[in-house]
Amino acid sequence: MNKSPDKILANITAMGMYVPEYVLSNAELEKTVETSDEWIQSRTGIKERRIVAKGEATSHMATNAANKLLAARGISAEEIEVIIVATVTPDMMFPSTAALVQNNIGAKNAWGFDLSGACSGFLFALQTGAQMIETGRYKKVIVIGADTMSSIIDYTDRNTCILFGDGAGAVLLEPSCKYGVIDAKMRIDGSGGKYLHMKAGGSLNPASHDTVDNKMHYIFQDGKSVFKFAVRGMADISFDISERNNLKSEDIKLFIPHQANKRIIDGSANRLGLSDEQVFINIDKYANTTAATIPIGIVEAFESGRLIKDDNLIISAFGAGFTCGAMYIKWGMNHAL
């Protein structure tokens, strides 16, 4: 799947991230549910997660990430043509979080929309934004992954409350003839919906006293089943994208996987034959921020010098739906330092 010589590529030219200030540690969770720091760290790799302040929502985090991106690129929001926000925790059912971000940053020439792909949402959004650039129709597309998972977590349920956190990351896509998204593979399998979902708040079970009393506005997860599918799903799709682009393990500079569980990440890394230095992990600090894990990972990897121009980057994810995806990116930004 190597690019043809005249193809326009969608290159990441700026980025930004935001996590809330409040740190919810494992020790803090030990006080509210029957769990332990040792259990959480050994089963998931998570030490702490960030949680929004009261009144702060997905659009606030997404706006912060987008503003940092604009400052880093040194452009006005008026130059932005499209804003895509991947999220399963929009501020409201409508208007879209993209519309709220557009207004907050003053992107008065943009259109945009939200995209629901759960933990694979950022990958799906990046693929969508990339194709807008590749057609030649658009020159500046912002793709954001942002989720306020604390808004749909039952903090009395130890099976789920330890796993998730809040955060946002944003990237700017611009045309390039050499750098950017080279190849992507995405999948959706609705038969997995029964293992991970939120029962109420949509058109099937609109909000009512019953839905609230029965805790139907929280995440339901059959963790063991999701784990089984995720290990296999993310490893397989990461391997496929590498193989069909003739990338051997030594050709991959960095693998930035979705951060849901350190053991799921290790499974994919092993399948690709990667060493620890080739795998980006920050699940210890932020837990699973759903659509935000990968863009946050991209920002932190770049800012810490782990990604430099001409590097081969693989990103991949697995999530509710089930959804999964992997992408091969030829990194095109010089290191900031």
- Asked if 223 interacts with ligand COA (CB under 6 A), we say yes
- Asked if 226 interacts with ligand COA (CB under 6 A), we say yes
Compose the 258-287 pattern: x for residues touching ligand COA by CB under 6 A, - for all others.
Answer: --xx--x-----------------------
| Total of chain residues touching ligand COA, rule CB under 6 A | 21
CB of 105 or CB of 119, closer to ligand COA: 119
Catalytic residue status for 119: yes
CB of 193 or CB of 305, closer to ligand COA: 193
- Asked if 35 interacts with ligand COA (CB under 6 A), we say yes
Compose the 15-34 pattern: x for residues touching ligand COA by CB under 6 A, - for all others.
Answer: --------------------
- Asked if 43 interacts with ligand COA (CB under 6 A), we say yes
Please state the closest distance from residue 291 (CB atom) to ligand COA, in A.
10
Closest CA to 142 of 198, 178, 183, 101: 101
Site residues (CB under 6 A) for ligand COA?
35, 39-40, 43-44, 119, 158-159, 162, 221, 223-224, 226-227, 230, 260-261, 264, 288, 318-319
Active site residues: 119, 258, 288
